[in-house]
Structure 1
Amino acid sequence: MTDLKLIALDSEDLEVLSAHVQDAVVRVADMGYARGDRRFALLMNRFDWESGQGRRDKGLRKRAALHFDGVQSVATNGFDPAAPEGVLNLLAISFHTVDGPAGIIELSFAGGGTVRLGVECLEARLSDLGAAWAASATPAHSLD
């Protein structure tokens, strides 16, 4: 089992990265904006979709880090960023061009929560951190 390392520099890259972090569990305390470095980072327990497909077990979770560079602004909605023990389920990450190459990166969470990052360009990096364990359940979504 190899550790995943991805970089996203355009919307197509970000779609691949988003697929790998779908259903990741993120603690609010594990997200932060380093204004001086213009970086937004988060730690997560991502569901390892590539290893869990077609297996009888419930799959794996892996500890991973994701960060975005060139961040100029951060806005949150639908959850309390001051609640450090809050837990979010990451559903998708998207990019919307505003004044190319600048745009908005949106992290969408279950329940309607969002983090919107104003960026000068799209630059995201995802890295597994080595820890992996058996998932308690395989994520499933209603198609309604």
Structure 2
Amino acid sequence: MSDDARFEDGREAPLNLGALDADDLGVISSLVQDAVFPITEMTWQAGQRRFALLLNRFRWEDDGRDRHGPERVRSLLVVDNVLRVSSQGIDRGDRDVILSLLSVAYEAGRDGAGHVLLTLAGDGAIKLSVEALEVTLKDVTRPYAAPSKRTPDHGD
């Protein structure tokens, strides 16, 4: 018998959200704050112009933490229309590194183009040059008890 939580316990459904503008992306950013992922779970499919992360996302939207404690869920964060990917402060050669996502933002350019900026803990960042903003966030597993048994704290 597993002690993992189920969406049904909280009468919640898995997230499946899309963002086509900066305001929508702000909602997704708040939901992926403090998500962690191994560097090996980051991929750019240049032919499909798609960048994807498989995240262990903290469930900020969960109102049932008092019943079952803090939870995480595996989620896919996908950015489409990606023309170029660059990064700073990330050792892509270290296959054992775990990254922590702090925020996702959009910097508009000309004619609908712009940059999606993924800010990471420890001064790392990933910059995605996009032809148009199109981001999706989808939960792909059921929730599980957060290994730390704590809610992330930013000291504010």
Quick check: TM above 0.5?
Answer: yes
The percent identity for this pair of structures is 41
CA contact (8 A) 2:75 2:138 kept: yes
Structure with greater proportional strand content:
1
Deviates more, 1:80-89 or 1:59-68: 80-89
Q: Is 1:17 aligned to residue 28 of structure 2?
A: yes
Q: Is 1:133 aligned to residue 144 of structure 2?
A: yes
Aligned to 1:142: 155
| Structure 1 residue 51, shift from structure 2 partner | 1.0
Aligned to 1:74: 85
Give the Cα–Cα distance (whole angstroms) in 2 for the partners of residues 11 and 69 of structure 1: 15
Q: What is the number of residues matched between the two proteins?
A: 143
Aligned to 2:118: 107
Tell me how large the CA RMSD over aligned residues is.
1.4
Q: What TM-score do you get using the length of structure 1 for normalisation?
A: 0.94
Q: What TM-score do you get using the length of structure 2 for normalisation?
A: 0.87
The one of 37, 46, 52 equivalent to 1:41 is 52
Instruction: Show structure 1 runs of 4+ deviating over 4 A.
Output: none
Q: Is 1:63 aligned to residue 63 of structure 2?
A: no
Give the Cα–Cα distance (whole angstroms) in 2 for the partners of residues 54 and 65 of structure 1: 22
Deviates more, 1:49-58 or 1:111-120: 49-58
Give the Cα–Cα distance (whole angstroms) in 1 for the partners of residues 73 and 127 of structure 2: 24
SS in 2 for 1:16: helix
Structure 2: runs of 5+ lacking an equivalent:
1-6, 8-12
